[in-house]
């Protein structure tokens, strides 16, 4: 299990948290739990209701949508954040390729962090806007 300082260093390198101060990162770290999982562990299962988001601290994971590989994720990647925002079903299945350390944050704690860390809410909105633009370009040119 990583020390809180190591967690802060990891969080500082997560693009989603890049605009957060050390104090804000401490709030995020306090609101999350560290979890070590083996290779082959299903982090998210497409279509299932999501109740938490995950930050990959170490290791790698494969993202599949409708059984087709979309990408491979590494340290600093965040998965499951959409379900935290709308409590909707997972849009992809994510399975660890290696032993992986995750930070897990559930909906209740996430809502508290959003209330306390406005910079995070702004960054999430910008990230989602970017995803919508990317999707729009891929669909309509």
Indicate which CATH number applies to the domain containing 93. Answer: 2.60.120.10
Q: Is residue 141 part of a domain?
A: no
What's the number of CA atoms in the CB half-sphere (13 Å) around residue 10? 25
CB burial class (10 A; 0-12, 13-18, 19+) of residue 85?
middle
Check residue 80 and report its DSSP letter.
S
pLDDT at 49 over 70: yes
Average pLDDT over residues 21-33: 88
Q: Is residue 67 part of a domain?
A: yes
CA-wise closest residue to 30 among 99, 109, 134, 128: 109
Q: Which of 20-34, 41-55, 89-103, 127-141 has the lowest mean pLDDT?
A: 127-141
Q: Which residue range(s) make up the domain with 36?
A: 4-133
Average pLDDT over residues 55-63: 95
Q: Is residue 31 part of a domain?
A: yes
**Cβ pair 95, 43 in contact under 8 A:** yes
Q: Is residue 140 part of a domain?
A: no
Q: How many domains does the chain have?
A: 1
pTM: 0.83
Q: Is residue 138 part of a domain?
A: no
């Amino acid at each position: 299990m990583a020390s809180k300082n190591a967690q802060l260093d990891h969080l500082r390198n997560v693009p989603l948290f890049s605009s957060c101060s050390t104090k804000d990162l401490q709030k995020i770290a306090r609101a999350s739990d560290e979890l070590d999982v083996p290779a082959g562990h299903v982090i998210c299962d497409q279509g299932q209701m999501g109740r938490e988001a995950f930050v990959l601290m170490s290791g790698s994971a494969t993202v599949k949508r409708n059984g087709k590989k979309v990408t491979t994720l590494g340290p600093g990647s965040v998965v499951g954040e959409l379900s935290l925002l709308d409590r909707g079903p997972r849009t992809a299945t994510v399975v660890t390729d290696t032993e992986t350390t995750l930070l897990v944050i559930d909906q209740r704690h996430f809502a508290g962090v959003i209330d306390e860390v406005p910079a995070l809410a702004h960054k999430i909105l910008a990230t989602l806007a970017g995803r919508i633009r990317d999707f729009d370009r891929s669909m309509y040119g």
